[in-house]
């Protein structure tokens, strides 16, 4: 097997997901792989119910609670099925609250959540992203109203595909707000008590794909349809510390290492400042040139997924080829939108964004 570690030191991975994992986390996982916890085996090969792994699971939860200041009346679940697994788990688990769900559709992911909810609910779309002054804009809450009879209200505060972020939280006195935070969880602080349920597929800001973290208010547990599969039933999983079935232990362990790393960085407030700096640098580069453009209005520009187009899309292939050669990986935009997308989650260091901006300016100069 070849040793690629010397090469990978110098690349920056802008993949939208699965996305970059902090290098110190990968190094530690590598160091511990063959002999974890002094046991002579890897963490993947031990019982999830044994004391050593239980300690890993509990510490991961405690660290996540600390990072997000999760109130005591919320359960934290580590489940399988990723982000999409929650698109059906949410309607199935909240069914006893009624059969009406309401949705803000800001992009591809929140649209798919509607399609899944429709299998179990009457799913109403209250508003969708629209074009305002030629830019994509998400209608704010004064333009629509949550029906107090709804079982829940669902939205996605960061749409990974178009690079749209919503910087306000929808409010309702009686209807639980459910947020798909797959691509911006832990990137900035949120007040968990504003939400009934927060969920996230892990592969953007937490760790390996397949895992989903679900933070659910206790009064919303135990309301599932009777035909809800046990592994997706919040009650079953909460009663069993997310170990009703064998959990994805390696993913859980790695998520725990990422939480530890984030605490070492100073936590969510500290990383959110770096994230703001990274995004500002990149949008400034885009805005200060006619060569690049971005389609999202200022207030909805994502700090995690920065999409941009080249004025002449015949140069896209050259841009991608040369950026890849320069060690700036996975900048191709989503196949639905084309152009470029730089995903700059927590694990992307400021130097990575600086290197990208330098490359973009140099590319423009040599093409002009
Ligand atoms: C990536 C993503 C998903 C899908 O997650 P899977 O783990 O592939 O099911 C859902 N929602 C958002 C916002 C995402 O970014």
Strand, coil or helix: what is 64? helix
Q: What is the mean pLDDT of the chain?
A: 96
Contact 320/331 with Cβ under 8 angstroms?
A: yes
Residues 267-367, CATH architecture: Alpha-Beta Complex (3.90)
204 catalytic? Reply is: yes
User: And the tokens for 48?
Assistant: 């999830």
**Ligand 1 pocket list (CB less than 6 A):** 17, 82-84, 109, 156, 160, 180, 182-183, 201, 204, 209
Q: Place 327 in a pLDDT band, splitting at 50, 70 and 90.
A: very high
Report pLDDT for 122: 98
DSSP annotation of 172:
-
User: And the tokens for 264?
Assistant: 């070492």
Tens of pLDDT, residue by residue over 202-220, are: 999 999 999 999 999 999 9
Q: Place 4 in a pLDDT band, splitting at 50, 70 and 90.
A: very low
Q: Are domains 28-264 and 267-367 of this chain identical in fold?
A: no
CATH code, residues 28-264:
3.40.640.10
Whether pLDDT at 2 is above 80: no
User: And the tokens for 353?
Assistant: 């964004």
**Catalytic member of 63, 75, 109, 137:** 109
Q: Among residues 135, 132, 102, which one has the least CA distance to residue 117?
A: 102
Tens of pLDDT, residue by residue over 76-90, are: 999 999 999 999 999
Report pLDDT for 6: 45
109 catalytic? Reply is: yes
Contact 217/93 with Cβ under 8 angstroms?
A: no
Tens of pLDDT, residue by residue over 19-71, are: 999 999 999 999 999 999 999 999 999 999 999 999 999 999 999 999 999 99
d(CA 101, CA 91): 8
DSSP annotation of 18:
S
C-alpha 203 – ligand 1 centre gap (Å)? 8
Residue ID of nearest Cα to ligand 1 atom 7: 82
Residue 212: beta bridge partners? 79, 201
36 catalytic? Reply is: no
Tens of pLDDT, residue by residue over 123-180, are: 999 999 999 999 999 999 999 999 999 999 999 999 999 999 999 999 999 999 999 9
C-alpha 367 – ligand 1 centre gap (Å)? 36
C-alpha 182 – ligand 1 centre gap (Å)? 6
d(CA 193, CA 177): 10
Domain ranges of the chain: 28-264, 267-367
């Amino acid at each position: 097997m070849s040793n690629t570690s010397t090469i990978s030191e110098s690349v920056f991975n802008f993949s939208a997901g699965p996305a970059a994992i902090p290098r110190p986390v990968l190094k530690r996982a590598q160091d511990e792989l063959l002999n974890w916890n002094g046991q002579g085996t890897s963490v993947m090969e031990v019982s999830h119910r044994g004391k050593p792994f239980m300690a890993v699971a509990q510490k991961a939860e405690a660290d996540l609670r600390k990072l997000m200041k999760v109130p005591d009346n919320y359960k934290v679940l580590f489940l399988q099925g990723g982000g999409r697994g929650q698109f059906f788990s949410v309607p199935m688990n909240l069914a006893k609250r009624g059969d009406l769900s309401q949705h803000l559709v800001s992009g591809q992911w929140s649209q798919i959540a509607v399609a899944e909810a429709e299998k179990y609910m009457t799913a109403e779309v209250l508003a969708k992203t629209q074009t305002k002054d030629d830019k994509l804009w998400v209608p704010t809450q004064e333009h629509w109203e949550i029906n107090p009879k709804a079982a829940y209200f669902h939205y996605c505060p960061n749409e990974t595909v178009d690079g749209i972020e919503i910087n306000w939280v929808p409010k309702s006195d009686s209807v639980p707000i459910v947020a798909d935070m797959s691509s911006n969880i832990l990137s900035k602080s949120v007040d968990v008590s504003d939400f009934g349920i927060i969920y996230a597929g892990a592969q953007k800001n937490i760790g390996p794909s397949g895992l989903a973290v679900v933070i659910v208010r206790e009064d919303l547990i135990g309301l599932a349809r009777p035909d809800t599969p046990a592994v997706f039933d919040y009650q079953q999983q909460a009663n069993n510390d997310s170990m009703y079935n064998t959990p994805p232990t390696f993913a859980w362990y790695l998520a725990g290492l990422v939480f530890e790393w984030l605490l070492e960085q100073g936590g969510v407030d500290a990383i959110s400042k770096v994230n703001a700096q990274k995004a500002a640098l990149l949008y400034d580069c885009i805005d200060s040139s006619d060569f690049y453009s971005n389609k999202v209005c200022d207030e909805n520009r994502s700090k995690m997924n920065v999409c941009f187009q080249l004025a002449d899309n015949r140069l896209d292939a050259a841009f991608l080829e040369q950026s890849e050669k320069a060690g700036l990986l996975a900048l191709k935009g989503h196949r639905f939108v084309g152009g470029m997308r730089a995903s700059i989650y927590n694990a992307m260091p400021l130097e990575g964004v600086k290197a990208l901006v330098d490359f973009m300016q140099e590319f423009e100069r040599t093409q002009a």
